[in-house]
Amino acid sequence: MSNTKHTAKRAAKPQKVPEQSTSCPTKKAHHPERLKSEMIKRLHRIEGQVRGLSKMVEEDVYCDDILHQIMAVDSALGGVKKTLLKAHVEGCVVEQLRSGDAKVIDELMATMTKMMK
């Protein structure tokens, strides 16, 4: 086996980003621009952290240091998740309940069950 590093990068598979709810094609988020802007900034910061993780692995940084950085990314994503969940419940869910759509409770419970795994 050769000791040379394999530096060829594998092309990332483009991920399809759903534009609408997977459970109902007529639903769309309608969050205030301030909230969207805040979440986008946080997600861009997280994206940079993840790129940093790749670089750390490529540069053979000590495993414990990488693990701590992964925990930081997990924590940052958790913050975005909490922000979005709160906005979803206070906005989307309340609005749907007011319009008589009680199915939103089942959708919310299914999502929360997946989040707790």
Confidence of residue 15 (pLDDT cuts 50, 70, 90): low
pLDDT, tens digit, 9 for 90 and up, residues 60-99: 999 999 999 999 999 999 999 999 999 999 999 999 999 9
Distance separating alpha carbons of residues 24 and 35, to the nearest angstrom:
23
Hey, what CATH class is 33-115 in?
Answer: mainly alpha
In whole angstroms, give the CA distance from residue 94 to residue 91: 6
**Interatomic CA distance for residues 11 and 24, integer angstroms:** 32
Q: Is the pTM above the cut of 0.75?
A: no
Side-chain-side CA neighbours of residue 78 (13 Å):
7
List helix spans (H) across the chain.
Answer: 33-58, 63-87, 94-98, 103-115
